[in-house]
Structure 1
C-alpha cells in the first residue's frame, strides 16, 4: 500500500478489508488482569499460541495413554515418521525443497552441527566472519568452534561492522573485507535478519560473494523464518538454521529447523556427528548394521524426535498453510508500512526507526530508537497494556505479526506511545 491516513477509522477500515483478519481469532491473545486484550508486539521473541495447539498435543497424549509404545506405528500420526509431517510446509515457508529441510534439536545445537560439517579450517583458511552485532548465541557459538579447532577466538573472528554513526551493515564494506581477507575466511555465518536492527540481509548476494572468495556460507534465520521470504534454495547458501518459537508459534524452547542445500544431499565425505535417526530408515531397527547415511537434511539427525514439541509445530504450520505464506508476507508489509507511517507522523525528533525503510530489506519488526530513554519507557508501555521488547541501550523492538496483529493494534500502540512520550 502506497499511502496511509491518520485516525482510528482508517485503521478499522484496513482491518475490515483484510482477508486474513479472521486468523487473529485462531490465537490466544494475552489479557490484563481485567480481561482486556493486550497489544502483543513480541512475536519476534515468542509467538502466540494457536488455539488448535492444545488439541494437537492432546492427540499425542491420548495415543501415548492408549497405545504406549505402539503409538510409534499405530497412532493417528505415527511417531516413527512424525518429523516428516512438518517437512513440506516448513520447506515452503523457508523457500527450500523438502529434501533440504529437517526439524530437529534446538537452534544453537543445530548451528554447531552445521559447523561440524561446514567449518573445515586449514592452516591458511580458518577465520569465521559474522556481523559485528550478531545475536550473542551466534557469537558464542562461532568463538567456541574457533577454540575447539585450536584457534584464538578473537584473532580468528572477522566482524562485519556498521559504519561509524550508522546502525545498518553495508554490503560494500563486506565486499572490501572479502577482497582483503577472503582467502583466510573459511566460513561466513550471518544472522539472516539482524535481531537488533531488523535488517533483512540479501542472502543471495552474500552467498554469491562468499562463494566467489571460496568461503562456505550459512545463515541463522531465527528472526527470518515465518517472517520474510528467505528463498533459501535460490540463495545458494550451504546451510541455514532457525528456531520455531518466534514467528512460527511453536511454544517456548521448541525445536529448530535446519536447511542443507541439495548439492550436499549425498555427500558422504562431509564430516558430521551422527546418530541412529540419520541412518537408513529401512534398516534402522536392525541395530547391528554399519552406519548407512540418509540423503538430504535428514542425514544430519541424531535422535528420534520429541513428539509433543513437534505436535505444537504441526499445529502452527497448519495455520500457516491455511493462511498462505505469500499472503502473510503481503499483509506484513502493509502492517509494518502503516506502523512506520504513524511513527513518522508523531514528528518527534527523539524517535528514530533504525530498521531499513525499504520493505524488501526488513520483515515485520521495527526497531525504534528513543533518545534519552531507558528501560523505564518499556515499563510504561507495559503498564499501558503493550507487550514489546526492550534492547539496551535505547531500542524498543516491535513486531506486528500478520497472523494475529491488526491494524488497530498498530494504531493503538502508537497512540499510547505518543501519550507516554508527551510532556506531562
Structure 2
C-alpha cells in the first residue's frame, strides 16, 4: 500500500459504499471507509425492522469491495489543511482525497416533550429500541406516528397491518411529495388498514407527553407509543470542521460535487448541497450522487476536468404494508406527475427495488464503474435550467431584501 494515493470515504451508507467500491477502479488507490457500525444498514427497510419483517442489516462483506479497508469508528473532525480525519476512538487518518457521505437522520425535534417521549426511527439503534418498546406494549395500545412523509406512511401501514391501533398525524397534508391522485390512493389503503389519518392545518403537534400527543387545535390524542418521523437533518461534521454548508448543514459544493472550500473534498448523498440546490434526500439520489463524486475524484487523479452534475430519473416508491404500495412517477424536476402505480403491483415494485439495492452495491464492488444511472441523457441540460431558475430567484430576493450585511 506504500506510495498509493489514499482516499477516505466518511460514511458507510448507500452513497459511501457505492463511492468506495467505484474508487477501486484504479489499482493505485488505497480506499478506506469509515463508519460507526460494523454492518451495512439497509435503511429503506428500517420500518420493516420496527414491524418485525426484516432486520434491515446486510454484512459489509456482501456489498463492499474486498480491497476497501473498513474502519469502524466515528469521524469527529476534518482537518483540510493537514488532510487528516480525526476519529473518536482510533488514530487520525491522513488522506489525499476525502468523500463526504455522512448521510442524514431525524432532525432534532423542537416540540416540547418530543425528545423525551417520542421515538425516532432513522437509525438502526433507534429502530431496534422502538421495536423492543412495541413488543412490550399491549397489542391494543394506541400508537401515534408523527410525520406523513414516506417513513411515517410506511411505519403506520406496517404496524396497522399487524392489528395495531395507529393514528398518523400529518402536520399538513398526507404524503406532501405525492400527486393528488397518488395521495388519494395512499389515503384509501391506509383507511383499509385501519389507520386514522389526521391532516390539515390543525394537524400540527404542539406537545408530546408520556401518554398523549397534543395538536394545534387543542386536541389530545391518546398515545402509548409515539413515533417521530417528521423532518430530516444531517450530521454537523462539515460545519464543525469549518467547511461551508447550507442552512440545513449539508456540505456546499459546485456542480462537480467538489467542496467550495477544498478541491480535495467531494460530497455524496443526503449531505451534499451542489450549488445550494440539493437533490431530494433519498436512496434514489444517493447512488447517482455517489457515482458522480467518485468519478470526480478519479477525473482529478487522471488530470481531467470532472463532469457537471446531471438530473436523472425521479420517482418515489412507498410501501403500504407487505401487500400494497404506491409507485409515484415524477418529472426531471422531481415534481410528482399524475401517473402512478398502486396496490400489489406497487408492492412488488418496491420489494424489487429494496432487494436490488444491495445487488447494485455488490455489482459495483465486483465490477467498479458499472453503475451508470448518473449519466442518463438529457439530465445536464435540465440541471442547468433548474440552476438558472434558482439563481434568478435568489437575485430577485436580493433586490427586495437588499445586500447582506
Return the TM-score normalized by structure 1.
0.27
Q: Which has the higher helix share?
A: 1
By percentage of residues, which structure has more strand? 2
TM-score by structure 2 length? 0.28
Which structure exhibits the higher relative contact order, with contacts defined as CA atoms closer than 8 Å and separated by 6 or more residues?
A: 1
